[in-house]
Every structure is written in C-alpha cells, then in structure tokens.
Amino acid sequence: MKRNTGNTVIESLGAYLPPKAVSTRDVVAGCVNEVRFPIERITGIKERRMAGDTEFAIDLAINAVEDCFKYSKYTPQDIDLVICCNISHYDQHERYSFEPSGAIRLHERFGFDSATVYDISNACAGVFTGINIADAFLKSGTANRVLVVSGEYITHLTKTAQKEIQDLYDLRLACLTLGDSGVALILERSDRTDIGFQQLEMLTLGNYSPFCIAKATEYPHGGAIMLTQSAELSGVAVKEGAKHVCKMVWAVGEDSIHTMITHQTSKISIQSGIAEVNRILNSEKFNSENTINNLEKRGNTSTTSHFVAVMDHIQSGRIKSGENILFSVNASGVTLGTAVYFFDDLPDRIRKFQETNTQAEKIAPALEENPDYNIAPTVTIGSIGIVPGDIEIKKSTFDLANYAAKQCLEPLALSGDDLDLMIYSGVYRDEFLCEPAVAAMLAGDLSMRADVYRESGNSFAFDVLNGSLGFLNAIHTGVNMINSGKAGNALLLTSEIENNLETWPNDLMGIEETGAAMLLKKSEDGSGFGDFVFKKFPKYSNSLIVENYWVDTKPFLEVQRDERLDDFYVECIVDTVAELMMKARLDMDKIAKVFPPQISSSFIQKLTKALNLSPQKVVDVTPGRKDLFTSSIPHALHQAISNKEVAKGEMGLIISAGSGVQVGCVIYRF
C-alpha cells in the first residue's frame, strides 16, 4: 500500500477532566491576603476542575489516552511516535519528575512498542507544537500514526499563589485562573485534501519571553509559581497573533471558516482578539456566536485548552461533522500559531460511541511502503559549537547555551536572523524553570526574528526533553522538520547545570556543567544523517529516577540511580546497534568512528569491549570531565572533526542512551 499524500487528520480525540470542581469564589477566598482584582468578572471563569489529591499530571494524561483509544480504530502498538506535551510534570504530590520522561511512563502503561517516545515543552502552545512536529514526521514519511498527549496538572501553581499574592496588580494573579485536564490526539495522513489541517504554522517572538515565567518559588513554603505580565503578554499576542490569523483566513477564504477557537485565557483577551482580527480583515467575520469561549467551567487549562473546548462542544452538539475550525494559538515565549482544520465525521463518531457506551472496532493498519534504506542523506551538520572545559564562564543555562550558539554560528557568518528553527534539549536548568521554553528565551537572546510577526520567514523554537537521549531526539526532529519543508535549517542547543550545587553540594547529578550547539541544514554533497533506530527497555525504567521536591525550605533534586545502570546501558546499546546495522544493511567494519555516550572512560571501555571494537575506532572526550549527558554527541563529533579523525565519505555511528532505559543510534556520513 502506498503512503497517503493528503492532509494530516485527527483520527481520534480524547479528553479527561478531574471530577472536583472549584469555584473562582472559593479560589479567591483561599488566598492568605485579600484579592481585590475582579477575577471572575474580567476572565469569565466561574469554576475550574482541580486535580492534586489522587490524580496528577501523568494520571490526567493516562485517562486522556484511554479516552482517545476508545474512539480509534488503532491500538497502542500501531503508533509510531508519542509526543508528550504538558508543561507540568508533577506526577506525585509535591514531586516534580525530570527523568524518565512522561512519554516513557505512558509507554509503561500502554505498550507503545513500535514508537519513538519523548516529551516536548513550549508553554501553552505545547499541544499544537506536538501537532506541528507530528505533521512533519507524517509528511516526511517517518511515521504513519502519531499520538500527541498532554496531562496538565497546573493548579499546584494556584495553591502556591494563594500563599503569596500581595496586592491588586500582583504578577501571580494569573495563577488563580488555571484548571486541570488532559487531552490526547491520534494523527495520521489522509488520502484526501478536503479534510484535515489545511494550514498549520507556528512562530516564536522571543523578545517577549520575560512576560511570563514559571519556576521554583523564592519562598520557604516551596512549590512552583508563575509570574505573568498579563497586559503586556496579551498585547503582543493580540496584535501579532491577529496578523497571523488573518494570513490563514486569506489563504483558505473567509467563507471556508465556520468557527474560531482561541487560547482560553480570559473573555477580555478573546474579545480583544476578535476585534483586532476583524479590524485587519475589514469585516465582521468573527463574533461571540462563531468564536468559542469555553472558560466559564474550565478556566485556563494551558496546553489542553483548544481540545478541551473541542471535546466539550462535540459533546454538546455545537461542533458538527464537516465543521471548519480556525485555531488561534498563543503562549508565553511568545509563541504564536494558527491552524485551519476541516473536520471529517469524527464529531459524529465520538458522539455515537459516547451515547451507546461502546468503543471503535480495531482494524489492523495496512502495510505501508517504507522508504528505501541507505538512500542519500538529506540533512547534514553545518557547524558545531561547544563550551570548552578550560574557559571561565558562568555556569548558567543561558550563558552556556548562548556561548555554544555563537561558537556554532560565527564560523559560518550567521546570526539569529538566519535561523528557521531552534530546539533546546537540556534537562537541568536555572531556577527549575519550566515556562516558557528555554528555546524561546534563547531565541530572544540570539535575536532570532524575535520582535514582530513577518509575512514570511518567521522562526520557531521549542524544547525536547528526554533525559540524556534528548539531543538525539532533537536531531531526529530537526531532520524531519527540514525534510517536511517546515524549516530550511535548525539550531540545536543544550546546556546542563547542577541544580543542587549551591544548596546541597554533596548530592549532585554528576554531570558536566557545559553546553553545545549543532546547526542542521539541507545536504548538498551526500553527507548527513541516515537511518535512526530508537528502542525502549522498560524493564529498566526505574534504574534512574530524578525528582525535585522541597527539603528544609529549599528545592532538592533527588537522584535514584541503580548502581548497575552502566551495565544496563551497555546491554541495551548492543541490542539497539545490532538492529540499526541490520536495518542499514551494514557491517561494523564499514564504520570509521563510533561516538558513544560520553559518560566516562570506564563506561566507554566497557561498551567498546561489548561491541567488539578497536579502542582506536571509539571517540572518548571524557578525560578530565564528568558525564557530558545531553552534550555528548556534539562534543564527541566536534573533537573528531576538529582533529581530522574522520574523512569525507566515511561513516560514523552515533549512539545515545538515557533513562527509561532508552537507546537511540544513527548512521552519519561525513
């Protein structure tokens, strides 16, 4: 069966709301200090659902995925890619999970045996960022079915804000508008162009990233807090976002759009957005009748808000089969996006299954044609920048990443204005920052088309999170974004810090505080990335667990590491490399250099022996350094290329391993 070449469609949609409803009046009454701001009147939010008693982020995601598969003809084993998109990773009471990723935890529950799985983060634009990535993988033929999921337990921010809000214009007020929920979507490629995503585009204006920051609180009671300059954030989102909406309206024609769904923050912001779009269109296209306001009983559910609204209005009968919807996306960062989606019969199918309390019949997907292996690479490395171990530099997320970025771009005489895409994959960051995406803030630092919306040539930024495997996931994602035509190049960045260094110096991760950058571009000479293989080994999923909680009024990063972890990595790498070499139809003697995880020299020696390799073939940059973690790949490649250890036309084997346990590897032709 040939691959479908039509639009990307939502094959199924699931949503979940925790049962407890809490009124705005009760939220305000729960504040330590009097709140004089008229939250309910300005926002239109009368109540929201709140988790945090027995359900947390991962539980909301699990319930949404279960709901999604009820209406799908597919099973978890049919999924090729899982992207987990929530901001919050509070998976237990007052414990924030860093490793393993949420996507791995979902794999443990559902068995996504055929799928590559990882998390992304992009503030409230997370789900649409996931959809945009999914669209790239589907268009490039790397995946046939993608699950995009978010379990958003964010009312922990509300509980922190209730203790801290001081006055009428407090930056923490927006925390009182939040609600919890989960959504999940299965996406696939249709053979039709009259349904599915007609338009889908996202962009980042990083100059405005300081307008909303979520991080660890500075107060001794602990927890996370979100600080929002609401008027400034809304001003940028409305003004610049409306321009983007109008571009999409003109692309498909005003009459083609029946309904608009904006990000659900407040009724004032929705009304302001309608007014600005109509002003630019010079019409009265949108109004309160054809623009959905879902705030009254849901609040701002962050990444899930658009599809919670869709599911609510499918259930009410407001959204019908054949409905054409324009989605307007805005988030801190500032990240903007617009999507135009033409529904097939999904609304009718969901209503039917809900009304009859039945589930969709499962149908084994037809075998699709796979792309030929060993085809010429299409995406190559343009440049690499690293933070050397011997320079004086502040060990902060942004100093390290910005230094590496400049080292990467300057040899090519490039600047931020030349970049189409930025992906950041660092896990451990300053102040336990969780919003906006670090990539969005770095896009502002590098002036990456970061000021205003452009008619063409906007850039986009987001984070990929998957432990030490994250950088290879970022490469894979960047390759697919370029191959699908969504970007002409991609700057991949990472940096890591030791969060416990100042407060708990005897309890460290053991990772190198460093950074690295890699520029991906279209290949013109046959060099570049070939076959990727990612494998998961859930029997070792608890061999590395990293969580943040508060001890003695200070945040503490707890690391639970099995002393056999290196042995698990070696075992799983040997298995994964064997599968890649079989897939690529290569013998190991065809590989000139091997680039293993740069954990330690002893680890690399153990792996070299297990793979039956000559030590001269294996790159080791760890002497004098700790585990290079997400920076392993660029540091190892940088040394080999700088020292001319590889020649043009030779092949290298890049290997990465991380919590889960997960292993990924790829063939690279120099």
Higher-confidence residue of 363 and 109: namely: 109
Instruction: State whether 625 and 548 are in the same domain.
Output: yes
Within a domain: residue 3? no
Take residue 431 and report the two structure tokens written for it. Answer: 């102040």
Query: Quick check: is 80 in a domain?
Result: yes
- Statement to judge: residues 414 and 483 lie in one domain: yes
Residue 369 confidence (pLDDT) = 57
The single residue listed with the structure tokens 């696939």 is 188
Percent of the chain residues past pLDDT 90, beyond the cut: 92
E strand intervals along 283-420: 291-292, 324-331, 335-342, 379-386
What DSSP string runs through 15-59? Answer: EE--S-EEEHHHHHHTSSS---S-HHHHH---EEE---SS--HHH
Q: Coil, strand, or helix at residue 14?
A: strand
The SS3 of residue 352 is: helix
User: Are 451 and 552 in the same domain?
Assistant: yes
The DSSP code for 108 is: H
Spatial distance between the Cα atoms of 66 and 345, rounded to a whole number of angstroms: 20
The tokens describing 123, both together, are: 């503030």
Question: Do the domain assignments include residue 526?
Answer: no
- List, in order, residues 6 or more apart from 325 with CB less than 8 Å away: 257, 258, 259, 260, 261, 310, 319, 340, 341, 343
User: Do 174 and 101 have their domain in common?
Assistant: yes
What does the alpha-carbon distance between residue 217 and residue 503 come to, in Å, rounded to a whole number?
A: 15
Instruction: Identify whether residues 454 and 581 lie together within a single domain.
Output: yes
pLDDT of residue 451: 84
Q: What is the CATH number of the domain that holds 452?
A: 3.40.47.10
369 inside domain = no
- The pLDDT mean for the chain works out to 95
Nearest residue to 534 via CA among 483, 576, 572, 568:
576
In this structure, the number of other CB atoms found within 10 A of the CB of residue 581 comes to 19
Per-residue b or e along 306-315, where b marks 16 or more CB atoms closer than 10 Å to that residue's CB: bbbbbbbbbe
Over the stretch 287-329, which tens digit does the pLDDT of each residue have?
999 999 999 999 999 999 999 999 999 999 999 999 999 999 9
pTM beyond cutoff 0.85:
yes
Residue 53 belongs to a domain = yes
570 with 617, same domain: the answer is yes
Is residue 435 included in any domain, yes or no? yes
**Which region among 85-89, 227-231, 384-388, 461-465 has the lowest average model confidence (pLDDT)?**
227-231
Segment 593-601 shows an average pLDDT of 98
- Beta strands of 85-158 (E only): which ranges? 90-92, 95-99, 116-121, 145-152
pLDDT higher than threshold 50 for residue 613 = yes
Longest dimension (CA), the chain: 72
Locate 76 and state its tokens: 């978890």
pLDDT of residue 5: 78
Domain that holds residue 333: 8-356
Give the per-residue pLDDT at 372: 44
- In the listed set 325, 356, 387, which residue is the last one of a domain according to the structure? 356
What's the one-letter identity of residue 233? L
Query: Are 200 and 61 members of one domain?
Result: yes
Within a domain: 363: no
Burial class (CB in 10 A: 0-12, 13-18, 19+), 248: buried
Q: Are residues 150 and 266 in the same domain?
A: yes
Average pLDDT over residues 440-464: 91
Q: How far apart are CA 455 and CA 282, in angstroms?
A: 18
Give the chain's domain count. 2
Domain-embedded: residue 1: no
Q: Mean pLDDT throughout 619-632? A: 97
What tens digit of pLDDT does each residue of 249-302 get? 999 999 999 999 999 999 999 999 999 999 999 999 999 999 999 999 999 999
Q: Name the percent of the chain lying above pLDDT 70.
A: 98
C-alpha distances in Å from residue 541, one per residue of 110, 247, 537: 14, 46, 7
User: Which residue bears the tokens 């990535």?
Assistant: 133
**Residue where a domain stops, chosen among 306, 341, 356:** 356
Task: Identify residue 166 by its one-letter amino acid code.
Answer: Q
| pLDDT per residue as tens digits for the range 553-571 | 899 999 999 999 999 999 9
